[in-house]
A and B are shown apart, each in its own frame.
Chain A
């Protein structure tokens, strides 16, 4: 049973546009929601994360929006750049500690 559903599978955005990736979860015990970024030939790396006590977290051009009642969260990349082209994974876990459950990933291509 997949506990974190991610969409879309792939996304093409023009330079300067907004990239939006969505995730939905089923387990209401999840209370930590990170996004990982993976470049070709590299391992995933933590990009930004949110706890459910806030509805939004922003770091530079990257924003997580969180909707606890809908059990959904999304990543917004403002002013998308070609260097943002990568695969993005959402994930979820329960604190204080548990393993991460990853979504299947979104391949983002930002065209010049």
Chain B
């Protein structure tokens, strides 16, 4: 079984450029999370979707960040324009909602995208 797939794995861009990170959920999962990881702040939840609908986007730092789920298995996180302080590792994770088929909140993380904004 393929796990959560993220692309690209590494991204180096210049300040002001648009960055798009991609995530493919595990088949059958219906919840999707985007996280940002830095040494200073640890793992921060940016946004959470359930059944393609954004449920909680309170962690999105500012309007430069946007996330979408165009279908049940795919999501994008876009940063426009990017800034050096956006440099971090971005993870997406997927899970089954317990009410749908059991399970207890286990989130399956992708390998992450390491973003460097120069």
Contacts and interface: CB of A to CB of B under 8 A. Distances in A.
Interface of A: 32, 34, 41-46, 49, 89, 93, 95-100, 102-105
A109 B90 CA distance: 24
B105 A32 contact: yes
A104 B42 contact: yes
A46 B107 CA distance: 7
Interface stretch (B13-21, B65-73, B93-101): B93-101
Interface of B: 4, 33, 41-43, 45, 48, 56, 91, 93, 97-99, 104-112
Instruction: Sort A-B residue pairs by CB-CB distance and give the 9 closest, nearest first.
Output: A43-B109, A104-B42, A102-B43, A46-B106, A44-B109, A96-B98, A43-B91, A43-B110, A105-B42
Contacts of A93: 105
Given A97-B98, A99-B48, A105-B42, A34 B106 contact: yes
Nearest to A107: B39
Contacts of A46: 106-107
A85 B106 CA distance: 22
Given A41-B111, A43-B91, A43-B109, A32 B104 contact: yes
A49 B103 CA distance: 12
Contacts of B43: 44, 89, 102, 105
Contacts of A41: 111-112
30 contacts: A32-B104, A32-B105, A41-B111, A42-B111, A42-B112, A43-B4, A43-B93, A43-B109, A43-B110, A43-B112, A44-B43, A45-B108, A46-B107, A49-B106, A89-B43, A93-B105, A95-B98, A95-B105, A96-B98, A97-B97, A97-B98, A99-B33, A99-B45, A100-B105, A102-B42, A102-B43, A103-B42, A104-B41, A104-B42, A105-B42
